[in-house]
Amino acid sequence: MPKPRKQLVALDATPYYHCVSRCVRRAFLCGQDEQGRSFEHRRGWIEKLILDQAQVFCIDIAAYAVMSNHFHVVLHVNQKNIKQLSDLDVVSRWHRLYKGNVISQKFERGETLSPTQELLLADLIEEWRDRLTSISWFMRRLNETVARLANEEDQCTGHFWEGRFKSQALLDEKAVAACMAYVDLNPVRAAMAKTPEESEHTSVKKRAEKAKEAHSPNHPKQQAFGLLPFAGNPRQDMPEGIQMRLTDYLDLVDWTGRQIRDNKRGSISEAEPAIMNRLGIDSEHWLYITQNFESEFKGIVGAVNEVKSKISQFWDGQRERRRAAGIAACKLRLSLAPVDNNFSPSE
């Protein structure tokens, strides 16, 4: 039985989540189907929707990849941002997604509301504020929009997605880095691209192109618009963003992609990126998890100490469910060496 969504998302434990949606119909999401019909243009739909929605929701995009019959996205819930929004900001953002109602529309136009209307509006704003940081609502609107567009184009009705999206919580820096690399390298593993920077409709291509143009690629303000920036290695007074350098991450993904593409069993290049040492990553395990992240790990991913310390936040105090499925994989793949930094995904 699928786990309730509240048991897969716990923002007090981590703001980072890997989400995947897959098609249910034989018609492809993108690419060409067996009849030779091309759906390649749908990649653009999804990429644009992902980036556009991130400008409305208080949810940042750390990584994404649009494949032939599914897509991946690594999300960062920005709780700091939602707290800074005024009531009018919340209403205006929600109206960019849905129409709202007569009361909220009057409020946005600056018209006077009755006391009863103000009370009703206050409840709505509280609800919408929560939804603007909801992964479920983010994925719901994204998938509903794609399904509607695809059904109109295919001139049919019915389910487009195989079910609700899959979600994995990423508890620590190694889990975030491994999952992002797994997502960005999807086209390389599928032989759709030779290198990460040639992978169409992926976040790594967008980041690599911007890095080539930027005078200072590691500066958060000179990184790809619409994506959660890399803020540099962990330190005091960290700015908002992923806690590593952009150039380190690009080196890491490039090196990993070359090993995957060359398919050299047991032959690991000695020229490993320096970021692997800082993260305490074993190269053999790294290559494995960046090719098998979904199948290797279950709903909660991180070093064993992180999983054990935060599992109760996902299982809502139910003792019989506090043993995380897949904890053996976390111990084997992500708990090999201590990490000398102060990374905390919950900020």
Lookup: tokens for 327: 């904890």
* pLDDT value of position 332: 87
Residues 49 and 117 both lie in one domain: no
Question: Taking residues 126-134, what's their average pLDDT?
Answer: 97
Nearest Cα neighbor of 297 from 334, 326, 333, 335 is: 326
Q: Is the pLDDT of residue 260 over 70?
A: yes
Rounded Cα gap, residues 343 and 242, in angstroms = 10
Q: Are 334 and 292 in contact (CB under 8 A)?
A: no
Helix 173-184 and helix 203-213, axial crossing angle in degrees, nearest 10: 90
Helix 246-262 and helix 283-296, axial crossing angle in degrees, nearest 10: 80
Nearest Cα neighbor of 272 from 253, 299, 290 is: 253
Q: Characterise 249 by phi-psi region: left (phi > 0), alpha (psi -120 to 50), beta (else).
A: alpha
Residue-number span of the structural domain to which 305 is assigned: 12-80+136-334
- Does some domain include residue 271? yes
- Domain of 39, CATH number, reads 3.30.70.1290
Residue 228: pLDDT band by 50, 70, 90 thresholds?
very high
Residues 114 and 226 both lie in one domain: no
Q: What is the pTM of this model?
A: 0.89
CA torsion sign for 341, 334, 135, 250 is: positive
* pLDDT value of position 253: 94
- Does some domain include residue 209? yes
Residues 90 and 202 both lie in one domain: no
Residues 62 and 111 both lie in one domain: no
Residues 155 and 285 both lie in one domain: yes
Residues 93 and 163 both lie in one domain: no
Residues 102 and 230 both lie in one domain: no
The pLDDT tens digits for 267-300 are: 445 577 888 888 888 888 999 999 999 999 988 9
* pLDDT value of position 346: 43
Residues 240 and 101 both lie in one domain: no
Q: Are 114 and 80 in contact (CB under 8 A)?
A: no
- Does some domain include residue 70? yes
Residues 193 and 111 both lie in one domain: no
* pLDDT value of position 193: 87
Rounded Cα gap, residues 279 and 64, in angstroms = 22
Residues 146 and 249 both lie in one domain: yes
- Does some domain include residue 100? yes
Question: Taking residues 9-14, what's their average pLDDT?
Answer: 89
Residues forming beta bridges with residue 20, ordered by sequence position: 72, 166
* pLDDT value of position 323: 57
Residue that is last in its domain, among 71, 98, 131: 131
Question: Taking residues 89-103, what's their average pLDDT?
Answer: 97
* pLDDT value of position 48: 96
Least confident piece of the model among 23-37, 107-121, 163-177: 23-37
- Does some domain include residue 17? yes
Rounded Cα gap, residues 262 and 255, in angstroms = 11
Q: Are 174 and 339 in contact (CB under 8 A)?
A: yes
- Specify the higher pLDDT residue, 329 or 238: 329
How far is residue 125 from each of residues 113, 122, 182, 272, measured CA to CA in Å? 14, 5, 37, 50
- Does some domain include residue 186? yes
Q: Are 186 and 72 in contact (CB under 8 A)?
A: yes
- Specify the higher pLDDT residue, 340 or 252: 252
* pLDDT value of position 7: 59
- Does some domain include residue 342? no
Q: Is the pLDDT of residue 93 over 70?
A: yes
Q: Tell me how many domains the chain contains.
A: 2
Q: Is the pLDDT of residue 333 over 50?
A: yes
- Specify the higher pLDDT residue, 261 or 135: 135
Q: Is the pLDDT of residue 203 over 70?
A: yes
- Does some domain include residue 347? no
Average pLDDT, the chain: 86
Residues 159 and 249 both lie in one domain: yes
Question: Taking residues 248-254, what's their average pLDDT?
Answer: 94
Residues 59 and 155 both lie in one domain: yes
Q: Is the pLDDT of residue 195 over 50?
A: yes
Rounded Cα gap, residues 199 and 71, in angstroms = 13
- Specify the higher pLDDT residue, 340 or 246: 246
Angle at 141 between CA 136 and CA 147, to 5 degrees: 120
Rounded Cα gap, residues 46 and 146, in angstroms = 7
Residue 4: pLDDT band by 50, 70, 90 thresholds?
low
Q: How many CA atoms lie within 13 A of 90 on its CB side?
A: 21
